[in-house]
Amino acid sequence: MKLNIFTKSMIGMGLVCSALPALAMEAWNNQQGGNKYQVIFDGKIYENAWWVASSNCPGDAKSNDASNPWRYVRAATATEISETSNPQSCTSAPQPSPDVKPAPDVKPAPDVQPAPADKSNDNYAVVAWKGQEGSSTWYVIYNGGIYKNAWWVGAANCPGDAKENDASNPWRYVRAATATEISQYGNPGSCSVKPDNNGGAVTPVDPTPETPVTPTPDNNEPSTPADSGNDYSLQTWSGQEGSEIYHVIFNGNVYKNAWWVGSKDCPRGTSAENSNNPWRLVRTATAAELSQYGNPTTCEIDNGGVIVADGFQASKAYSADSIVDYNDAHYKTSVDQDAWGFVPGGDNPWKKYEPAKAWSASTVYVKGDRVVVDGQAYEALFWTQSDNPALVANQNATGSNSRPWKPLGKAQSYSNEELNNAPQFNPETLYASDTLIRFNGVNYISQSKVQKVSPSDSNPWRVFVDWTGTKERVGTPKKAWPKHVYAPYVDFTLNTIPDLAALAKNHNVNHFTLAFVVSKDANTCLPTWGTAYGMQNYAQYSKIKALREAGGDVMLSIGGANNAPLAASCKNVDDLMQHYYDIVDNLNLKVLDFDIEGTWVADQASIERRNLAVKKVQDKWKSEGKDIAIWYTLPILPTGLTPEGMNVLSDAKAKGVELAGVNVMTMDYGNAICQSANTEGQNIHGKCATSAIANLHSQLKGLHPNKSDAEIDAMMGTTPMVGVNDVQGEVFYLSDARLVMQDAQKRNLGMVGIWSIARDLPGGTNLSPEFHGLTKEQAPKYAFSEIFAPFTKQ
């Protein structure tokens, strides 16, 4: 599914998950753009909160100043400063580097033929400019041109005022509009056009009064902010931070953020409307809302016992159970740790000596491989092939660009006599980097300064997730998870997450699948929501609690297409198993889903680690008397699972994994027979889905010959992508939904889902994370869920 396919911002299904890449540390040199940067300036590390201009200097940044995107993260270490540099003046000139093709973090998996297609997200519908406001991505027509917003856009921002890369205006010129587009959508030519609510734009709110409005008691149900087609939920203000749109209660009022909001931005009545505060007064909170959600009245934030750790220092010794912060993750050591020992998350600092081989253009190299070209040594930073390390365009000395090779200087070579006579390892010796030693008859080279760590030692640092208070934040389910359930996917990192409790009350949708939990990055064994949000105190947890209090429940999906799954970043099976256990335990889950797609459906190492860890955690649950259902979600074709998908299931069975079900993404087939645009009523896409299920049944029967047909049906799930699919020409209409529902009821499937609940809204004509691309006449609000909701039964 897609983790962020739509920004590929949806974390979603084949469903494509959008991963945020790991941030490379670099010196500030007037970076500009919408990428995420982490820079060193004047001994400190800063990270941009939104689009940054070359004129924005970290030295000018005040805490959460809305006019400057740079945010202080922590003090830079001496090592970081020495490996990059430490600019201290805002007058430094930009140091441009040539654009290069981004390199993948992991070795691409072989292409699966035929494979479900993963298309670009630049497929948004074009609309006329009419004062659009928000953090969604728009393509608008204005004065004969098409513009795209580079970051959050206000209703007052006019494309006609935009200059090329003007940091004060988010609109960017894309291309000239065609005559057909102008004829179809219109062509506003004046910035005096006023946005109107009928057009979907948000009218700016009047300034906040000098004193907070006194709430008026009433006995009505909590109202829902009505500025979009989604059912948004309220939450109490608790220092929310990010570009999501929040509706919060503070001191008797409901506030909404107008742009990126920092945790220190407080929605105080007398100052909320100044230019540096993103909070805007919406209305008075009702008595029912205050009773349900609470009413904070002070700007002091209670961190709920969250651990604040000091940054790791290699030159410092640590006692057992010490917790440190390293690369935006917390680590805890199980034993006393001497100075110049292991680095959290790092490999053993000793590497077995092997003479570097000559570089070959036909050889595939992965992270850590070393080669020699003309007497100079180079180390691969990630997967690479045919990129000559001797060329400057392929070199990455500081890890601050996307080039694959790190220059190491003159290649080291040793004679047999030198190798045999190398000094024996002495734990008391402080070794410099690149020192040759001999240990148990084998030669090793130190990769960094090291002391009291032998080549056979294991790293005692483990990723530490602070789960303080999480169980209380998400609440406890009141009922068992249904045997047959409609559980639409929710991209749980979108800006527009619907109010789940309202959907349960108003639309009878009581169960949801939350997507996606993924690794912080490809090298850090840390679970996160879409790489962007931590697991402990995510602001959206209030939606889960409200749903559970209303009698509903959620399951959680780990994985997706675009980000690294935990099974890829966690090389230790026990660490991986513990993460699975902690996620289920602290989020009070009864069902856990693993979405395995993209390159990961063919990545054998992560497949095997996942299955081993799932088997281990299932054994632990059994010993504790817990019954936790495990589902695997896989891409599929009308002919059934691909060989790679079957391999995932075969390996799971071989390792003893007990699956409650196999859910398949009946979408994005990339097959000519599933081209269904402009064929509403012919059920082409629906027939592709039912064909996929029929063939899946045969495949599962082959894996589990002792199960009855009814048992096989009960362990199958189908999840179509409603409306316009990622693959051009594939559309899933309401008539397709009725056919899929009929087949699901006939077979008594275990699960029906959709990608996604946020898309079950009319609007647009193309791919969108917030609309299905059909008209309201074709599919009104939550029409797909209205068809599928009756499927749920115990």
- Name the residues annotated as catalytic: 597
Element spanning 47, H or E: strand 44-48
Element spanning 638, H or E: none
CA dihedral of residues 724, 725, 727, 733 (deg, nearest 10): -60
List the structure tokens of 260: 């990126």
What CA–CA distances, in Å, run from 247 to 490, 513, 542?
Answer: 18, 23, 12
Residues 6+ apart with CB under 8 A from 436: 353, 412, 414, 418, 419, 422, 443, 444, 445
Q: Looking at the chain, how many residues does it have?
A: 794
Q: Are 407 and 375 in contact (CB under 8 A)?
A: no
How do beta strands 139-142 and 126-128 pair?
parallel
DSSP string spanning 574-604?
A: HHHHHHHHHHHHHTT-SEEEEEE-GGGGG-H
Residues 6+ apart with CB under 8 A from 679: 731
Cis? peptide before 404, omega within 30° of 0: no
State residue 260 phi and psi, 5-degree precision: -50, 135
Q: Are 222 and 236 in contact (CB under 8 A)?
A: no
Cα–Cα nearest to 226, from 251, 266, 254: 254
Q: How big is the CA angle at 318 (ends 312 and 322), to the nearest 5 degrees?
A: 80
Element spanning 708, H or E: none
From CA 330, how far away is CA 565, in angstroms rounded? 19
Residues 6+ apart with CB under 8 A from 345: 326, 327, 329, 331, 459, 461, 463, 523, 524, 525
727 Ramachandran zone, left/alpha/beta (phi>0; psi -120 to 50): beta
**Torsion over CA: 608, 612, 617, 619 (sign):** positive
From CA 282, how far away is CA 207, in angstroms rounded? 10
List the structure tokens of 577: 């198993």
From CA 353, how far away is CA 350, in angstroms rounded? 9
Q: Are 778 and 762 in contact (CB under 8 A)?
A: yes
